[in-house]
Amino acid sequence: MLLKTRFYIPPLRKRSVLRESLVEKLKVSAGGELILVSAPAGYGKTTLVSQWLHANPHTFAWLSLDRLQRVSIVFWEHFVTAIHNIQPDVGGEALNILRESDDELLESAVFSLLNDLDDLSTLNNSREPLTLVLDDFHCIERPLVLDLMNLFLDHIPPSIRLVLIARAEPALALAKRRANNQLRELSVSDLTFNQNEGRLFLNETMSLALSDVDVVRLCENTEGWIVGLQLAALSLKKPDAGPIIREHLDRHISDYLFEEVFALQTEEVQLFLMISSCVPKFCAGLCNKILDKPDSLKLIALLDQMNLFLVPLDNHRTWFRYHDLFRHFLMSRFLLLSEKSRGEYYLQSAEWFETAGYLEEALEQFIVLQNWMAVVTLLDQVSEDKKGGGGEGEVSLTEWIESIPVRFLSQLSSIEINTLYKAKMKATKNDLSIAVNMREPRNSESRSIPSAVLNQESPHQEPLTRREAQVKQLVSQGMPNKVIASELNISVNTLKVHIRNLYGKMGVENRTEALLKMNQQSPCKDS
């Protein structure tokens, strides 16, 4: 007996954001076509198709799949039954074959179903095809099932359109179907919420009252990932909710990604995901170096097929990055490795970048390693490409120089860099007389340090640079790294170097200890 609930369409959620443009794309589909809605978990695939069926009433069948349908006969029995339930004249003979046979006669059952659907095309005067939706089609992996599905699609009549909702691209000769104009696709780029949809979702669906600035920041932080916005909204409803944009990964998002994505992968894929996250972008050659394996291209292609939050950075699909929230999650797993292992992976990536000519990327990795001699050497080379460039180039040089301890700066040879070096040395000397009041509210129009923290430190403590004092002030206000980096107009990686240097000078090991020490040192104001 088949479970009836597998054939029920999910109900529409109250106040859900109507994806009008995407619904219109589905409305213009026709019989004889395959519609593939493919994206990672949490992009609203099922909700979208449900909206379309509710907005465009016609005869349709819905089948929710899971691992139980991996058995060929079980899958095709569900498949035929879904159609038979809405068209009793279709699939009767195919069901009899399936109930009385084994895998050897599955092809006969599929042909019988196709013949019935072809007859239906002749009798159907409405020209409106049936729609069969297969939800969670990524659960179907058995080659025999996929081969027969390819057979079905090769001969699909105009009386039916097939909709597959999946987290990964299925092995269904998609290139052939694209060439034949038989395939319509909706992917991550289509399903991602834009800022207007994000505003509707956060303020109407999730009943928040966020400003446009906060909506934009959340949409950017989640890259339009719908579940990411939902979990962030739930966090913001808590009485003790922190800043609107958090540098740390919210526990709910982390749990979701672990349970719905990471834990479902093989150990080989988990290891690849975790280690490849130590670089902002990657390609097969780089991953081969980091993991000391020759098959990274195969693994990257697998991740791409599985839609594992992979974002291509070029049309040739050579360079990739992870969705920002997914990379934060993977980095939290990466940080569980030993310090020695992490250092080796960073070193391998830095050396590969340098050898391949990606000097700026190599420089960033050496900064993370605090290999200052390598940073100085690369900085001299990189500065040649940024001479007189101004704008972003000069900003990058300034960021890199500010990350380097003063005692290493004298070894820089570039004239352009020495100009910035002298400016930093002057600023460092000025820091000795700067006063920082840790309790004073942040002035958004100025990043100067208003009062002395330097004089409150231990007399044996190495004095803070101007940038470290600025970082300390903002850390004391409870700001996450991403906000601090944005406020100071530096990269998060550069900021982390400043924070590590700050911790060393303060004699603490983490942010909690740093905040406790700051609170102890800050003078209480008279009431």
The CATH number for 493's domain is 1.10.10.10
The CATH number for 316's domain is 1.10.10
The answer to whether residue 373 sits within a structural domain is no
3-state secondary structure of 165: strand
* CA nearest to 150, candidates 120, 114, 186: 114
Token duo for residue 20? 């009008």
The answer to whether residue 231 sits within a structural domain is yes
Do residue 322 and residue 447 come from a single domain? no
Q: Which of 247, 266, 287 is the last residue of a domain?
A: 247
The answer to whether residue 156 sits within a structural domain is yes
Do residue 134 and residue 106 come from a single domain? yes
Q: For the chain, how many structural domains are there in total?
A: 4
Do residue 143 and residue 280 come from a single domain? no
* CA nearest to 145, candidates 165, 166, 172: 172
The answer to whether residue 412 sits within a structural domain is no
Do residue 82 and residue 59 come from a single domain? yes
The answer to whether residue 297 sits within a structural domain is yes
Backbone angles phi, psi at 472, to 5 degrees: -60, -40
β pairing state of 320-322 and 310-312: antiparallel
Q: Would you put residue 416 in left (φ > 0), alpha (ψ -120 to 50) or beta? A: alpha
Do residue 41 and residue 183 come from a single domain? yes
Q: Are 296 and 272 in contact (CB under 8 A)?
A: yes
The answer to whether residue 411 sits within a structural domain is no
Task: State the DSSP string of 218-267.
Answer: HHHHHTT-HHHHHHHHHHHTSTT---SS-SSPPHHHHHHHHHHTGGGS-H
The answer to whether residue 225 sits within a structural domain is yes
The CATH number for 21's domain is 3.40.50.300
Nearest 10 degrees: CA dihedral of 32, 38, 42, 44? -30
Do residue 241 and residue 252 come from a single domain? no
Do residue 237 and residue 265 come from a single domain? no
Per-residue confidence of the chain (527 residues) as pLDDT tens digits?
A: 566 767 888 887 778 899 999 999 999 999 999 999 999 988 999 999 999 998 888 899 999 998 777 778 889 999 999 999 999 999 999 999 988 767 778 999 999 999 999 988 776 655 689 999 999 999 898 899 999 999 999 999 999 999 999 998 998 999 999 999 999 999 999 999 999 999 999 999 888 888 888 888 888 888 899 988 888 887 777 655 555 444 434 667 888 888 888 998 999 999 999 999 999 999 999 999 999 989 999 999 999 888 888 888 887 889 999 988 889 889 989 988 998 999 999 999 999 999 999 988 998 899 888 888 888 888 878 776 655 554 455 556 777 777 777 777 766 665 455 555 555 555 544 443 433 333 333 333 333 333 333 333 444 456 777 788 888 888 887 677 777 877 777 777 778 878 878 887 887 777 767 777 776 665 544 43
Do residue 223 and residue 291 come from a single domain? no
* CA nearest to 53, candidates 19, 80, 85, 84: 19
Do residue 138 and residue 211 come from a single domain? no
Token duo for residue 436? 């920082």
Do residue 75 and residue 148 come from a single domain? yes
The answer to whether residue 385 sits within a structural domain is no
Beta strands in 47-169 (DSSP E): 60-64, 130-135, 160-166
* CA nearest to 488, candidates 508, 474, 507: 474
Q: Which of 145, 164, 191 is the last residue of a domain?
A: 191
Beta strands in 3-113 (DSSP E): 34-38, 60-64
Token duo for residue 460? 């044996």
Do residue 241 and residue 324 come from a single domain? no
Q: What is the pTM of this model?
A: 0.65
Do residue 152 and residue 217 come from a single domain? no
Q: Which domain, by its residues, includes 46?
A: 4-191
Q: Which of 247, 281, 311 is the last residue of a domain?
A: 247
